[in-house]
A and B are shown apart, each in its own frame.
Chain A
Amino acid sequence: MDYISPFDEQLREAEPLAARTESLDGKRIALLDISKRRGDEFLDRLEARLGTAGADTRRYRKPTFARPAPQDLIEEIARDANLVVEALAD
């Protein structure tokens, strides 16, 4: 007996994780603040430590943690950076 599925059968499988990077040399690291309380403190610390290690970092910020990142922000990060660290918080 066939059934009508409540699932969307066309959905893509989850994308595999990108390969882990071997080295930070020559890589730009995006530090993404999701606008949650104290996320900036974590990123400040991380930015300082990465800076000491000679890494190139750039800060980005989602307008609100409650919603997905805007597409143009995702594209901007994808265009400008090689790696992303996203700071969850609370």
Chain B
Amino acid sequence: MSDLTPAPATAAPDFELPSIDGDPVRLPELLSQDSSVRTCLLFAHADCPTSRLALRRLGPLGPELRASGTRLILVAEESAAAAARLARAHGVDAPVLAQSAPWSVSEAYGVVSVPTAVVIDSDGAIVDRIEGWDADAFERVLSISLGEEKPRWKPGCGARASETQGAGGLGAAEGADVTEVLEDMFERGWTDGLPVIPPTPENVERMLGERAADRSLGPVPPGMGEATLERVAACAVLAGCRPDYFPVVLAAVECVLDAAFNVHGQAVTTSPPGQILIVNGPVRDELGLNSGMGALASGSRANLTIGRAVRLVVHLTGGAAPTSLDRAALGHPGKLSFCIAENEEASPWEPFHVERGFDREESTVTVLAGDSPASISDHRSTTPEELAATIGWGAAGGWSPFMWPMEATSLFVIGPEHARMFEEAGWSKQDLRAAIYSEVRRPARELKRGETTSVVDEADPDELIAKWPSPERIQIVVAGGEAGRFSAVVGPSMSMDAAVLTRRIE
């Protein structure tokens, strides 16, 4: 025969904890505020997906619970700032208390896993306790309906007080599996939409090396989050960078944060641009950057994760998440990552960074604002003039087919086979630039459609208008595989007043 006598109630241990509003809260005072309600302490922390599930489901019900006789209080095993963030992120409409190490309140309440809910009656006696996420139990104990949303049950995670230090290579809390850790990153919003590597202190420390974690590269527009090296390293870890990639990321972020680059405008505009990197010099081989076959494609960790890290700094630290502060109507896939390494070995010309004033043996990164690339195929030209015309006209629809001149920079990525035709004819890079510039012209009468540019408006109908306002708006790099007569042009970023900037990689 089972014993149906309820266990004697235990007195709730007294405590005093700071609320996120800054005022300390003591349990006896709390209980004496209103003797008609009971109190539900919900212990939780931000690193536990089950805690966050419970907060998302229960937190917004604070007023409803209060009306039905239960005062919900979140006891976050977090600093006050982190507790406030946790509450805000999950719509918690209830008082929030912050508890720091050594987690004495959790210990006093015997909380070994989170979430744990402890229900205290108005006399200060513990009358119920729920561990993990158990919708049935919460509905029964709190007299509420939680609807049909799944999951109805999910086990909790280790409370802070019970955590084992240094667990798990990916930074898993004890008992968490890899999938759970990766899902946790998504729930925090630490992602560009693809899975990330968790920025554990160990991972970030490895990325930082001997650099000062709190050194700042400046605020990142548009949200103006401070780009401390530690935060940039966290983005590099999230992106999947190896630590030896980090100097490239840092140099690129320094360029991006230069006021002349105007990342602010790029980040918030309705137009599509992303931040595009061009890497030159010995670092390409040292890091295994791909400048050859598939240079603009998937497959190379170094290219993809370096470009991604820079974008994550803008997206996360800068707050320019699409649909949030990033207002791009469409954007483009290169906003995930876009890092080109020049194929200097296949180029007949001086490398891009040498043209920009650096030594061949220096390693550099260049940033420019750009839209998506368009491929330009030419298997038929028999002279360099014909090929230059094809390549130039391939870019003539940039921004808009009728926007002439276009106040923007076009980056031409010349494939090695195309480059060889220019080389055999003895053309310099400047010859190609000049040929593209003078070839791509149209009579003003063909461009007078709708509201065109003032240059076209004011021109005689037969006056030839160039696509670019000056040859300097035509940038040229060589990249790609040895075989295949293809080049590409990276779409221009109009009106963003974005300089092309290069820095040495230290």
User: Which residues of A are at the interface with B, using a C-beta cutoff of 8 A?
Assistant: 1-11, 13, 37, 64-68
Contact = CB atoms under 8 A, between A and B. Distances in A.
Contacts of B122: none
Contact of A1 (B173, B269, B316, B317): B173
Contacts of A10: 226
Contacts of B262: 66-67
B264 A1 contact: no
B331 interface: no
16 contacts: A2-B47, A3-B171, A3-B198, A3-B199, A4-B200, A4-B201, A4-B204, A4-B233, A5-B234, A6-B312, A7-B225, A66-B262, A66-B269, A66-B496, A67-B264, A68-B264
A11 to B, nearest CB: 6
B320 to A, nearest CB: 12
B234 A4 contact: yes
A1 B171 contact: yes
Contacts of A7: 190, 225, 231, 316-317
A10 B227 CA distance: 12
Contact of A11 (B225, B230, B264, B497): B225
B234 A66 contact: no
Given A4-B200, A6-B312, A68-B264, 19 more contacts: A1-B163, A1-B173, A3-B171, A3-B190, A3-B200, A4-B201, A4-B231, A4-B234, A5-B231, A6-B190, A7-B231, A7-B316, A8-B231, A9-B81, A11-B223, A11-B319, A66-B265, A66-B496, A67-B497
Contacts of B265: 66-67
Nearest to A12: B224
A70 to B, nearest CB: 12
Interface of B: 47, 81-82, 85, 88, 163, 167-168, 171-173, 190, 198-201, 204, 223-226, 230-231, 233-235, 237-238, 262, 264-265, 269, 312-313, 316-317, 319, 451, 495-497
A10 B216 CA distance: 14
Given A1-B167, A66-B265, A68-B264, A6 B495 contact: no
Contacts of B223: 8, 11
Contacts of B235: 6
Contacts of B230: 4
A64 B497 contact: yes
A22 B495 CA distance: 38
A58 B88 CA distance: 40
Task: Give me the 9 closest cross-chain CB pairs, A-B, nearest first.
Answer: A8-B225, A6-B316, A66-B265, A4-B204, A4-B234, A66-B497, A6-B234, A4-B199, A1-B173
Nearest to B198: A3
A16 B491 CA distance: 38
Contacts of A2: 47, 200-201
Contacts of A8: 223-226, 231, 317
A9 B198 CA distance: 17
Nearest to B191: A6
Contact of B200 (A1, A13, A68): A1
A45 B168 CA distance: 64
Contact of A6 (B47, B200, B238): B238
A4 B233 CA distance: 9
Contacts of B233: 4
Contacts of B198: 3
A55 to B, nearest CB: 30
A4, A7, A9, A10 interface centre (most CB from chain B within 10 Å): A4
Contact of A65 (B47, B199, B312, B495): B495
